[in-house]
Amino acid sequence: MDPTSELLSELRTELRGTTQLDEIRSLLAWDQQTMLATRGHQRRAEQLALLSAIHHERFASKKVGDLLSELSQRSELDEMQQTGIQLLLKDWRRAACVPAELVERLARLQGQGHMAWMEARAARDFRVFAPVLQQLVDATIERAHALEPGAPVYDVLVDDFEPGMSTERLTDLFRRLRAGLLPLLDAISGATPMPRLEGTFPRDQQMSWCLELASAMGFATDSGRVDLATHPFTTRLGPTDIRITTYLNERNPMHALGATLHETGHALYEQGLPSHLEGTGVEQFASMGLHESQSRFWENTIGRSAPFFRWLAPRFAQHFGAVAPDANTWYRAANRVERGTNRVLADEVTYNLHVIVRFELERALFAGEIQVPDLRDAWAEAYRRDLTAPQDDVEGVLQDIHWSGAAFGYFPTYTLGNLYSAALGRKMQQELPVWELVERGEFAPILGWLRERVHQHGRRWPSEELVRRVTGESDVVEDLVSYLWARHGALHGVTRA
Amino acid sequence: MDPTSELLSELRTELRGTTQLDEIRSLLAWDQQTMLATRGHQRRAEQLALLSAIHHERFASKKVGDLLSELSQRSELDEMQQTGIQLLLKDWRRAACVPAELVERLARLQGQGHMAWMEARAARDFRVFAPVLQQLVDATIERAHALEPGAPVYDVLVDDFEPGMSTERLTDLFRRLRAGLLPLLDAISGATPMPRLEGTFPRDQQMSWCLELASAMGFATDSGRVDLATHPFTTRLGPTDIRITTYLNERNPMHALGATLHETGHALYEQGLPSHLEGTGVEQFASMGLHESQSRFWENTIGRSAPFFRWLAPRFAQHFGAVAPDANTWYRAANRVERGTNRVLADEVTYNLHVIVRFELERALFAGEIQVPDLRDAWAEAYRRDLTAPQDDVEGVLQDIHWSGAAFGYFPTYTLGNLYSAALGRKMQQELPVWELVERGEFAPILGWLRERVHQHGRRWPSEELVRRVTGESDVVEDLVSYLWARHGALHGVTRA
């Protein structure tokens, strides 16, 4: 082997170990949320902390850093190899450049933050959470300064979840999106009311129906599992071990449907990543936003469409008999739009307004324009403006878990997912007879298209660039707004001005 | 803190890490056998190997060795602390004194051994397995020499699983046990035939019945789980996370009963170990034999007794209705005795003869009295003598997985478990109204007795000494033989000469 190949091979070996430690950590977390008995949780937290420490020790090591900086100077690498090394160098700096004391302090604060958030929710009072939140914000600012001295803090935070994205770009996208969503919302508010599903749908049958659905979408059941969790998630325990969890509500199968479509979307992306490139740095998912685009494409674009329910309804009826809704009832029930207070329960139109509220608050907070104690009122005010004012703090500023774990800068990726999904969906419809395929339950060509255009590229390009390469120069905001107008305008008999 | 306390505290921190790495490894193995999808297995094997390497690196480190040898010279330690340090020093030497090359070679050979064993079983031909078995034997001998130069190899192997036990002692115990068992077996062979259970017992109901049973025995369901596995096992993922697996046969609930009693016995021992002593070296289980004594006590002494079935039968009938056997049918079906070819399926009388065959072969093999290629015929010959000659190699020398994984010296612990169990059972009956308690389903005093006499002492004493401390000077062989005569003699209307 030539010296460069030797360095690459040494690097691959190191990264194979750290990747597997990550997968093991994911198994511990999966088990924690699906299997673990009540009294096992404390020890599990310690086991997770131990693994994180070992992972950090190995990945943020001088050895890995030296290999990467050595390789970054080799001109004989091809373009993809160079990209991978640059991505890994950035990962390494993010891991190695934060002082150990700060890493530990942040981890401790996250634990305290979660507890304080729970207590505050029990007391329905943001003030119980605010002091720890202040410490979390301060430590997060410290970390951002350590990572990129001089850079605007919120840019650094966003980059954790959405590499290549900036506060300025988000501000522009979200301002225009809000301007596009509000007229649609006004136009359909108070128009035709949508039904709710009613009946009893036994849990066991829902579970086997979920499995069938995931499988029909293309989820490889020999390379993963479907289980139950209170808060559904998807996790990667290995290239051929991707696990979905879903959530069941005996009175309303819409919950299981939404969760299964969403999580299977994530899982299909994971199963489609280029695992043959393991250790190059390119094999990973591109960003949380792109991940979310895959889940939301299946959940919303496909999973709330009329052709989908025409395919689904008779199959669902085979499981549940007379209580099963007809296709039209399903379709209309799946597309209720309401100005509510809750992000997680929101429909696909208002969802983005919930996200924009959070983005604006986070942006202002880290720009020093507002302070932690102001968040409650600023939240209520923004909701009053665009959605519905919350009745109390649990309905308002305490509703999401994210801030208690210092996941600042994460919220925007939800809406980026919708934007990317809309652009990809538009392009796909130009190249595939999407709705005919969906109505026949032929999901393979759709998945094939996503695999080829999106999944197989890993994180070779920043997500926005990847989407642009697939869809051509276009306005993702306009893509999303017209997609929503087309579906919801038609359902309510209104047209865009 | 004084210097000794500081050393102890440093040691505890190190061991906390290695213990937790062990627990994490157990989670990976548990998941592998209960949850993992087909295509996840290859990666899982790599993850397990990685964890083993990290565990070895940390436990067999110079740091741990130095701490232990330093502490072993401190006179201010109390007796239990000294015991713990000696036990840990021995563990450390077993981990650190085998050359890394040999550890890797053995691990690789175990993988190959398992494959060759599977292939040999498919071909029903021992000769397919023999060459790898030879390499496994050679590497095992090499390892024994590295661990204890000059010591008899089989003594070193037995000590892996049963600290304090010797080949000489085993030879004496097993010779006398065989002499005690054969007359009983001759006396009851061909006497009253015992019934078989018949019916259909739905799997879901069997599973909830197993959970109820484990719970009734005292298994803390908030500190563990019960799941299904092809080969039932119990595993420790943490002091308050002990998991049982069981096995169901829809046509015969005896399988689920036996597996659940057996594994719950193991789990109760694990749940009763002195976890407050974590890091002292004393908190662990005493030996595989003692572990087995706990599973077999519940499975056989309690779980095949007439009072147990008088308690069980009506409860079982609540789950299964008319198909449920009456107490007497259960009791008699649970006590069929047959000279068979299969250890795992054997009854409690012949079981020990199966073990003795394996012990004699292993002992002779490592004493150089027979060679690997002789094992097939020697096996058949021993079975012809005491049990039933096998039809082919799968029924014979290829029936157990142990040798394919180099677990030489493990088999004797099964019978040691029966011996310890008999001695403990005799003593318990002197101190508790065992059969009245069992008939009323009051298992708590029985578990309490085991907790106090056995579980809470961890591995403070070698198992034989622990049993002697509880039961007084007695002959464990006589304890087991009279226990078996009492039950099976009565069932067949024969008395001991």
- Name the residue type at position B399: Q
Annotation marks residue A263 as catalytic: yes
Beta strands B242-246 and B234-236 are antiparallel
DSSP state letters, A376-416: HHHHHHHHHHHS---SSTTTTTTS-SGGGGT-TT-THHHHH
Alpha carbon separation from A237 to A241, A270, B40 (Å, rounded): 5, 10, 8
From B17, B23, B240, residue closest to A39, measured CB to CB: B240
Beta strands B224-228 and A234-236 are unpaired
Lowest mean pLDDT among A190-204, B345-359, B367-381: A190-204
DSSP state letters, B198-222: -S---HHHHHHHHHHHHHHHT--GG
- Name the residue type at position A495: T
Beta bridge partner(s), residue A246: A228
Other CB atoms within 10 Å distance of the CB of residue A451: 18
**Could you report the per-residue pLDDT of A273-305, keeping only the tens digit for each?**
999 999 999 999 999 999 999 999 999 999 999
Pick from B25, B33, B43, B275 the residue to mutate for testing the A interface (most A CBs within 10 Å).
B43
Q: Is A222 on the interface with B (CB under 8 A)?
A: yes
Cβ <8 Å between A24 and B28: yes
Cβ <8 Å between B46 and A20: yes
Mean pLDDT, residues B61-72 taken together: 96
Confidence of residue B471 (pLDDT cuts 50, 70, 90): very high
Q: Is A22 on the interface with B (CB under 8 A)?
A: no
Mean pLDDT, residues B424-436 taken together: 98
Cβ <8 Å between B17 and A51: no
- B21: chain A residues, CB-CB within 8 Å: 50
- Name the residue type at position A171: T
pLDDT confidence of residue B1:
79
Mean pLDDT, residues B40-57 taken together: 92
Contact A33, A106 (CB under 8 A): no
Q: Is A241 on the interface with B (CB under 8 A)?
A: yes
- A33: chain B residues, CB-CB within 8 Å: none
Beta strands A234-236 and B242-246 are unpaired
Contact B248, B203 (CB under 8 A): yes
Alpha-carbon span B363 to B412, nearest angstrom = 11
Cβ <8 Å between A20 and B47: yes
Is the pLDDT score of A109 beyond 80? Answer: yes
**Could you report the per-residue pLDDT of A45-91, keeping only the tens digit for each?**
999 999 999 999 999 999 999 999 999 999 899 999 999 999 999 99
Average model confidence (pLDDT) for chain B? Answer: 95
* Residue A150 exposed, middle or buried by CB count within 10 Å (0-12, 13-18, 19+): exposed
Cβ <8 Å between A44 and B241: yes
Alpha-carbon span A18 to B465, nearest angstrom = 45
Alpha-carbon B269 to chain mean position: 12
Alpha-carbon span B268 to A66, nearest angstrom = 50
Lowest mean pLDDT among A30-34, A131-135, A186-190, A464-468: A186-190
Q: Which residue of B has its CA nearest to A55?
A: B54
Q: Is A24 on the interface with B (CB under 8 A)?
A: yes
Cβ <8 Å between A37 and B222: yes
Closest CA to A205 of A196, A197, A213: A213
Pick from A33, A44, A59 the residue to mutate for testing the B interface (most B CBs within 10 Å).
A44
pLDDT confidence of residue A485:
97
Alpha-carbon span B276 to B456, nearest angstrom = 10
- B220: chain A residues, CB-CB within 8 Å: 39
pLDDT confidence of residue B173:
98
Closest CA to A76 of A15, A176, A2: A2
Contact A232, A259 (CB under 8 A): yes
Cβ <8 Å between B223 and A44: no
Residues near A214 by beta carbon (within 8 Å), at least 6 away in sequence? A221, A226, A244, A260, A264, A267
Q: Which residue of B has its CA nearest to A13?
A: B50
Is the pLDDT score of A413 beyond 90? Answer: yes
Q: What is the DSSP letter of A475?
A: -
- A16: chain B residues, CB-CB within 8 Å: 46
Q: Is B13 on the interface with A (CB under 8 A)?
A: no
Is the pLDDT score of A473 beyond 90? Answer: no
Helix (H/G/I), strand (E/B), else coil: A243 = strand
Contact A83, A460 (CB under 8 A): yes
Beta bridge partner(s), residue A226: A244
DSSP state letters, A131-189: HHHHHHHHHHHHHHHHHSTTS-HHHHHHHHHSTT--HHHHHHHHHHHHHHHHHHHHHHT
Is the pLDDT score of B247 beyond 90? Answer: yes
- A237: chain B residues, CB-CB within 8 Å: 40, 43
- Minimal CA separation from B242 to chain A, in Å: 9
Alpha-carbon span B242 to B225, nearest angstrom = 7
- A43: chain B residues, CB-CB within 8 Å: 20, 23, 237-241
Contact A280, A84 (CB under 8 A): yes
Residues near A91 by beta carbon (within 8 Å), at least 6 away in sequence? A59, A281
Taking the CA atoms of A217, A218, A221 and A227 in sequence, report the sign of the dihedral they define: negative
Cβ <8 Å between B239 and A43: yes
B104-135 residues labelled b (16+ CB within 10 A) or e (exposed): ebbbebbeebeebbeebbeeebbebbbebbeb
Alpha-carbon span B386 to B402, nearest angstrom = 22
- Minimal CA separation from B287 to chain A, in Å: 24
Alpha-carbon span A199 to A205, nearest angstrom = 14
Lowest mean pLDDT among A17-26, A219-228, B31-40, B102-111: B102-111
Confidence of residue A430 (pLDDT cuts 50, 70, 90): very high
Q: CB contacts < 8 Å between A and B, how many?
A: 96
| % of chain B exceeding 90 in pLDDT | 92
Pick from A23, A26, A35, A52 the residue to mutate for testing the B interface (most B CBs within 10 Å).
A35
From B43, B221, B223, residue closest to A241, measured CB to CB: B43
Is the pLDDT score of A258 beyond 90? Answer: yes
pLDDT confidence of residue B189:
85
| % of chain A exceeding 70 in pLDDT | 100
Cβ <8 Å between A38 and B239: no
Q: Who has greater pLDDT, A104 or A307? A: A307
Q: Is A205 on the interface with B (CB under 8 A)?
A: no
DSSP state letters, A294-315: HHHIIIIIITTSHHHHHHHHHH
- Minimal CA separation from B278 to chain A, in Å: 13
Beta bridge partner(s), residue A242: A224, A236
Mean pLDDT, residues A402-425 taken together: 97
- A50: chain B residues, CB-CB within 8 Å: 17, 20-21, 24
- B54: chain A residues, CB-CB within 8 Å: 54
Beta bridge partner(s), residue B236: B242
Other CB atoms within 10 Å distance of the CB of residue B24: 25
Helix (H/G/I), strand (E/B), else coil: B471 = helix
Beta strands A242-246 and A224-228 are parallel
Beta strands B224-228 and B234-236 are unpaired
Pick from B241, B244, B278 the residue to mutate for testing the A interface (most A CBs within 10 Å).
B241
Residue whose token pair is 């494959």: B115
Q: Is A48 on the interface with B (CB under 8 A)?
A: no
Is the pLDDT score of A154 beyond 90? Answer: yes
Alpha-carbon span B355 to B171, nearest angstrom = 12
Cβ <8 Å between A222 and B28: no
Q: Which residue of A has its CA nearest to B24?
A: A47
pLDDT confidence of residue B100:
85
Contact B263, B225 (CB under 8 A): no
Alpha helices (H) along A345-374: 351-366
Cβ <8 Å between A24 and B23: no
pLDDT confidence of residue B190:
73
Cβ <8 Å between B44 and A17: no
Contact B93, B64 (CB under 8 A): no
Give this prediction's pTM: 0.93
Cβ <8 Å between A54 and B50: no
Contact B232, B258 (CB under 8 A): no
Alpha-carbon span B390 to B12, nearest angstrom = 51
Pick from B33, B240, B271, B283 the residue to mutate for testing the A interface (most A CBs within 10 Å).
B240
Residues near B96 by beta carbon (within 8 Å), at least 6 away in sequence? B60, B65
- A223: chain B residues, CB-CB within 8 Å: 37-40
Give me A60's structure tokens.
Answer: 């943020």
Alpha-carbon span B101 to A154, nearest angstrom = 51
- B240: chain A residues, CB-CB within 8 Å: 37, 39-40, 42-43
Cβ <8 Å between A223 and B17: no
Is the pLDDT score of A142 beyond 80? Answer: yes
Pick from A43, A215, A223, A245 the residue to mutate for testing the B interface (most B CBs within 10 Å).
A43
DSSP state letters, A62-97: HHHHHHHHHHTT-TTS-HHHHHHHHHHHHHHHHHHS
B336-374 residues labelled b (16+ CB within 10 A) or e (exposed): ebbbbbebeebbbbbbbbbbbbbbbbbbbbbeeebebee
From B16, B51, B241, residue closest to A36, measured CB to CB: B241
Pick the catalytic residue from B162, B263, B283, B464: B263
Query: At residue B51, what are phi and psi to the nearest 5 degrees?
Result: -65, -40
Cβ <8 Å between A43 and B17: no
Other CB atoms within 10 Å distance of the CB of residue A438: 22
Cβ <8 Å between B40 and A223: yes
Alpha-carbon span B51 to A17, nearest angstrom = 10
Alpha-carbon span B339 to B254, nearest angstrom = 19
